[in-house]
Structure 1
């Protein structure tokens, strides 16, 4: 029966390819990176990939960020084992390349077609494949199962909405679950939903959320110190990170109002998607601000009011030079982004009302008074004003945020313990 299901699924995937091509071309209008490396999406690689190692798949930017502590820990623990990091988006690839340089091979994971996946597995010959969060690719999982290659999902989460979708194909999904080596879930709620989809209890572990296991390296601290001395000097700074369409106008309106009271205030505006960098630049220019682009590599002058971050992989650095952070995707109905990265710098966290993408994390922060929720421009202005004028409040909010972060760490060590069973013999 599984053979029939997998064939039907593969036929659907083949039929969908023209639609996928059109979508890639459409996205490449604003982000040319989508036109590059198409052959990798079908398992063809120009550069040789070192085999006999680990493949770690992080679908996009957010998952790649969460995977960074795990990759570094694996490199330290198993220095002889090659790690191939795969993603599905250009931003995920670019971030990985900026963080790991030549230490890790970065590539697109092929589309889940039988031939594409076989070519990729034939070339990489992995001893272990790790997927971040919830990546159920039937052909990939089946090929690995046939070749007796362990496939694990770590930092796994399964929202109620996704669970309902998967439940419609419960029998097929249960057959896929049989072929998974183990799943390490973020919390008990996710774990229960995986069990209801057919995963056996002996293949399920609750390890916590890897996103809490953030470490700020000494190298990053040195860069932050340098920027504060040469770039920021004595100015107060707030950052609006991972912003989406519809948010920048509201945030710039707030900044314009704040400048009337705090004329020396500097704003760092960091759009989530690279294809929107030019658009955000136009919005900032039309609003009448004096601004610079981060990629220009120039220091802000005393007249600079806004820095637009148009680089990949520098958010942790920019959080480090900021006095407070607004995390985007939360004033519009996108669901917000990860508040734990700025929390690691002990700075106050501000988010809008839409935080459903990080519901559990935001609840922990909010209940510990480590997260401030705003609903509109006016409440954002009043919150930032309060924080700018009250240093003790800034310190208190930052302390409570990092306390939540530290209290919930430990997923990384649990994952390493589980993975040791498949890697110790190759240490």
Structure 2
């Protein structure tokens, strides 16, 4: 660890001019910059430390926050590496600080008064000085939702300090079988649960427009986050879904593209109304405001995820609609959410289609079987974590 800190220190010195320029030019980068190099000692007693990277990890951890609190019955204190994650956790009323640079002497100052009862690191947050300092002072340390790319795997094998650091986790909970197999090379206590990010919780919405569109109890089909590149693919799909008795909701990915969508609907002779002008109910509603898509997921039964019909696009998150027991359709281009797609396929909640010619047959097949129940899968993930974490209090 001494050599790691020396090397890290010289890298820091060499990078310092760049860091200072970055701090001056970027508000986001200089955010609480001095807190990272001069951390304030933690005053909280008898707590559990949760270390996360940024916003996505913070949101994901909140899926099991109540589970962790119910098991350990201690206050949670959050450590993050980004200002976005810091601001989000603050907005949720949680106690959070920005993690210092990975130097042993900074952790000595940070934990000068109180060390955590347990430290939980998330996904790829493997910081040698951070983890080794806690272990040296008898804090149990675990890694959850752990993932390791092929590139990282080769890197960790090459450098002893990372190899040894990973071996010191009291338990590692991997998010996939492939990740588990990689972590097995470094640690003898690796468990497997599905990705915490899949364990989303339903929200309850009380928007006035929801009561309005549900008045006649029509089935609702949402075309979500559509890009302008995808409009031509939709011609047959929109007509088929309308003819099957659905009310369709269309949500453009970018509101500046609304004129293209209105022209497209007029060309198809589809009567529609804008959500902001919902005076009379029609069978096609075009969303022209941000922040309401999830509310529509809560009352729909089927969703097509946009950003997935062109190789130029990478898809959007299919878990969000699925948690409301929607059956999800998407195109073949879901590169950014490949693991989520595979998870939903295994759960019977998603099918990928290459064109809309066969959409009608897929809809009919799903309506007969109705086999998507993501709530059950979500509960399985939470139960898996509960069972593994509960064993820690017996040690």
- TM-score range relative to shorter protein: 0.7 to 0.9
Is 1:343 aligned to 2:319, yes or no?
A: no
SS at match of 1:148: coil
- Residues 42 and 110 of structure 2 are in contact (CA less than 8 Å); yes or no, is this contact kept in structure 1? no
Is 1:71 aligned to 2:56, yes or no?
A: no
Task: After TM superposition, list the pairs within 5 Å mapping 1:194-343 onto structure 2.
Answer: 194-196=183-185, 198-199=186-187, 201=188, 203-216=189-202, 220-221=203-204, 223=205, 228-229=210-211, 236=220, 238=222, 240=224, 248-251=227-230, 265-269=248-252, 280-282=254-256, 284-285=257-258, 287=260, 289=262, 300-302=276-278, 305-309=286-290, 317=295, 319-327=297-305, 339-343=318-322
- Residues 71 and 386 of structure 2 are in contact (CA less than 8 Å); yes or no, is this contact kept in structure 1? no
| Structure of larger gyration radius | 2
Stretches of structure 1 lacking an aligned partner (at least 5 in a row): 242-246, 271-279, 291-297, 423-427
Stretches of structure 2 lacking an aligned partner (at least 5 in a row): 264-273, 280-284
Count of residue correspondences: 373
Normalized per residue, the structure richer in helix is 1
- Residues 102 and 129 of structure 2 are in contact (CA less than 8 Å); yes or no, is this contact kept in structure 1? yes
* Distance in structure 1 (CA, Å) of the matches to 2:373 and 2:59: 23
* Distance in structure 1 (CA, Å) of the matches to 2:96 and 2:296: 24
| 1:165 aligned residue | 155
* Distance in structure 2 (CA, Å) of the matches to 1:68 and 1:336: 24
- Residues 59 and 132 of structure 1 are in contact (CA less than 8 Å); yes or no, is this contact kept in structure 2? yes
| 2:85 aligned residue | 92
Please give the per-residue CA displacement for 1:70-94, whole angstroms capped at 9, x wherever unaligned: 2122233444x22122333444345
* Distance in structure 1 (CA, Å) of the matches to 2:383 and 2:82: 29
* Distance in structure 2 (CA, Å) of the matches to 1:92 and 1:395: 43
* Distance in structure 1 (CA, Å) of the matches to 2:190 and 2:149: 17
| 1:137 aligned residue | 127
* Distance in structure 2 (CA, Å) of the matches to 1:14 and 1:112: 13
C-alpha displacement of 1:53? 0.9
TM-score normalised to structure 2 length: 0.74
| 1:276 aligned residue | none
- Residues 56 and 131 of structure 1 are in contact (CA less than 8 Å); yes or no, is this contact kept in structure 2? yes
TM-score normalised to structure 1 length: 0.69
